């Protein structure tokens, strides 16, 4: 599904590298965690997938499509295939949980009927039926992140890309968020997640890619956190 072919990303006129000769692939329905110290290249790698950054060398493919050859006018269509979850939630403060999720559907041109059907389903999947009309400032950190996950999945993407989704959460909220991501993966959506959390990685027992100084140094099918 996702394939990195010898990808490097250079900055400062080639004097520093965020990624160095990265090659790997992610199969449909996989759950892949990417770990590494700060500055290892994890976020740059995710930005390549969502076409927010381009390789200096190499190619990144979604199925047979070279992501970075997509015309700018067609990027929104590609990005509909990907749901994104961030450490800082990125919720709209003046909209309720329901409205934040509905807004993602409106931006994708979905009908009112689709919104009425799919938003409650997304809220139910993240166990927030009873918080639909709460504003972000009325939610805990874990609840905000679950709203963000519901927003990411409501358009039924092929892939969820989650950049440190538990970075600001306490252990209980972290466990809840990881279980929801696992549930989404079990339902058939590919999940690619970066994290610093050793407990999350060890509990998942799924594939782990370890990065260091822009390179992949380990790729374990059922890995543990091994930095």
Answer yes or no: are the C-beta atoms of 58 and 4 closer than 8 Å: yes
Task: Give per-residue pLDDT as tens, 64-119.
Answer: 999 999 999 999 899 999 999 998 999 999 999 999 999 999 998 999 999 999 99
Task: Give per-residue pLDDT as tens, 128-180.
Answer: 999 999 999 999 999 999 999 999 999 999 999 999 999 889 999 999 999 99
Q: Name beta bridge partners: 207.
A: 32
Answer yes or no: are the C-beta atoms of 207 and 33 closer than 8 Å: yes
pLDDT, average across residues 193-213: 90
This prediction's pTM: 0.93
pLDDT at 14: 65
Closest CA to 88 of 144, 137, 41, 39: 144
Closest CA to 227 of 204, 205, 211: 211
CATH ID of 2-220, from 3.30.310.50, 3.40.50.300, 3.30.450.20, 3.20.20.370: 3.40.50.300
What are the sequence ranges of the domains in the chain? 2-220
For 48, how many CA atoms within 13 A lie in the half-sphere containing its CB? 29
Which one-letter DSSP state was computed for residue 73? Answer: G
- Edge to edge, the sheet with strand 16-26 lists 16-26, 2-11, 57-62, 65-66
Query: Per-residue confidence at 60, pLDDT binned at 50, 70, 90?
Result: very high
| Angstrom distance (rounded) from CA 206 to CA 96 | 34
Torsion of CA 101, 60, 27, 174, to 10 degrees: -40
């Amino acid at each position: 599904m996702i394939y990195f072919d010898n990808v490097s990303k250079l900055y400062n006129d080639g004097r520093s590298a965020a990624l160095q000769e990265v090659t790997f692939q992610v199969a449909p329905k996989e759950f892949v965690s990417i770990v590494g110290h700060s500055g290892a290249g994890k976020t740059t790698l995710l930005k390549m997938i969502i076409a927010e950054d381009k390789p200096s060398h190499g190619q990144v493919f979604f199925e047979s499509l070279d992501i970075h050859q997509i015309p700018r006018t067609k990027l929104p269509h590609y990005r509909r295939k990907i749901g994104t979850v961030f450490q800082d939630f990125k919720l709209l403060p003046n909209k309720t949980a329901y409205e934040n999720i509905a807004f993602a559907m409106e931006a994708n041109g979905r009908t009112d009927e689709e919104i009425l059907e799919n938003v409650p389903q997304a809220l139910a999947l993240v166990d927030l039926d009873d918080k639909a009309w709460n504003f972000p400032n009325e939610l805990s950190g874990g609840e905000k992140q679950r709203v963000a996950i519901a927003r990411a999945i409501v358009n039924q993407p092929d892939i969820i890309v989650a950049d440190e989704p538990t970075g600001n959460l306490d252990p209980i909220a972290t466990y809840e968020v990881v279980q929801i991501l696992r549930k989404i993966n079990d339902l058939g959506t590919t999940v690619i997640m970066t994290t610093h959390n050793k407990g999350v990685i060890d509990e998942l027992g799924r594939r782990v890619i370890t990065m260091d100084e822009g390179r992949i140094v380990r790729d374990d099918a059922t890995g543990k956190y091994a930095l």
